[in-house]
Amino acid sequence: MLQKFGNRGALVFRGIVGVVLLWIGIPFSSGVAFASDIRLKEIARFDGIRDNTLTGYGLVMGLAGTGDSPKSSAANQSLINSLSKFGVNISAQDIRSRNIAAVMVTATLKPFAERGDRIDVGVSSIGDARSLNGGTLLLTSLKGVDNKIYALSQGQLSVGGFAFDLNGNSVQKNHPTVAIIPGGALIEKSVVPEFVDENGSLYVLLNQPDFTTARRIEMALNRELGTSSAKAIHAGRIKVNIPTGVNVIDTISRLENVSVSPDRVARVVINERTGIVVAGGDVRIDDVTISHGSLRVVISTDYHVSQPSSFLRQSGDAIQTVVVPDTNIETTEGDLNSIQLSSGATIADLVAALRQIKTTTRELITILQAINSAGALHADLIIQ
């Protein structure tokens, strides 16, 4: 897919996504870029307020011949144990169908979730089941790392794929052995976060630790509270002392909405598999000259048969017919294009210049890597 800009320059998009250039915070410009003010809650969190992971082992029923095979001891033993609770006693030899599957169930317990709230769960097959489509998860206990039960899960599975096979032919889409149950777990035990310590202090944790940002947050919080209550401990942690007698919830609400201008490290992220390039608009480039040309190499080989004349050959001579390869290499080089960028140019300026020489996605990635190797790219180059 090619989207043209004018009748000459082009920014080439390849594959499903192609090249995506996200200019964060500013439009294309060679001026200095500053991050806009954002709320504290969008770049940080409070220590003690976090998610908790729950896991459990369960059994999925109702699969139309796509479950675990009878040789799966985990599924068979689980079925035997489940039926024994209802007074039904069977042995592993009695199980012939593939209508059940042993699964692992996972969920995330959000902070401040209360008893009776519902959360989503994920279900993944651990046996040789071909598909969980149409299955129902039996009542499964979900435990935390302390081995205590925090939620109970049960319900119909929602599978985002399918798998069918017949007479050796099969068709599959996505992963039919993984499913979800929206709202499939009922919380039975809540977790009360402890975000204020015994000294009446709470801690702000930055999502992206940075000394400059931590210092700015410290100053902004002290302006909001009117005291010297906030102090940056290091690049990712700020301590806030809450005065005695002050409502904690009201104070935290005020802190969450404090506006801060975060500092950020210039980065260029390249995904070589998809061809995506993401860069901040403030990424700077030193003086650099880029030459761009196309070289085509054609290698062709013809095979000739070398056979001596029978008139000159005598009986007993060690003469044989051989195949002789004749290789020809031709090279053609297109017009050489070059661009020059002055010191202080941004990635936006680079892309605008590369439009003029019709650079492809792969060539753009290669050029960025070369600029970084030359020491002219003032940013962290991250290749995924």
Amino acid at 41: K
Does 271 share its domain with 376?
Answer: yes
| Alpha-carbon gap, residue 382 to 268, rounded angstroms | 6
The range of the structural domain enclosing residue 162 comes to: 52-187
Based on the number of CB atoms within 10 Å of its own CB, is 307 exposed (0-12), middle (13-18) or buried (19 or more)? exposed
Q: Is residue 222 part of a domain?
A: yes
Q: Is residue 139 part of a domain?
A: yes
Structural domain total, the chain: 3
Closest by CA to 124, choosing from 153, 101, 96, 141, is: 101
Of the residues 159, 187, 215, the one at which a domain ends: 187
pLDDT of residue 25: 32
Q: Is residue 327 part of a domain?
A: no
Q: Is residue 312 part of a domain?
A: no
Rounded to 5, what percent of the chain is helix, strand, coil?
15, 40, 45
pLDDT of residue 283: 78
Could you read off the pLDDT of 317-362 as tens digits, one per residue? 556 666 665 545 454 555 556 666 666 677 777 777 777 777 777 7
pLDDT of residue 302: 61
Does 247 share its domain with 287?
Answer: no
Q: Is residue 310 part of a domain?
A: no
Does 378 share its domain with 270?
Answer: yes
| 293 within 8 A of 333, measured Cβ to Cβ | yes
Q: Of the ranges 50-54, 102-106, 219-223, 264-268, which one carries the lowest mean pLDDT score?
A: 264-268
**Cα-based distances in Å from 247 to 49, 105, 177, 223, 242:** 18, 40, 49, 18, 9
Does 97 share its domain with 9?
Answer: no
More confident residue, 306 or 212: 212
| Alpha-carbon gap, residue 120 to 112, rounded angstroms | 16
More confident residue, 297 or 131: 131
Considering the chain, what percentage of its residues have pLDDT values greater than 70?
A: 71
Tell me which H or E stretch contains 235.
none
Of the residues 187, 213, 244, the one at which a domain ends: 187
Does 202 share its domain with 177?
Answer: no
pTM of the model: 0.65
Q: What is the DSSP letter of 166?
A: E
pLDDT of residue 235: 93
Q: Of the ranges 23-32, 131-140, 274-283, which one carries the lowest mean pLDDT score?
A: 23-32
Does 113 share its domain with 135?
Answer: yes
Q: Is residue 313 part of a domain?
A: no
Does 18 share its domain with 98?
Answer: no
| Alpha-carbon gap, residue 238 to 203, rounded angstroms | 6
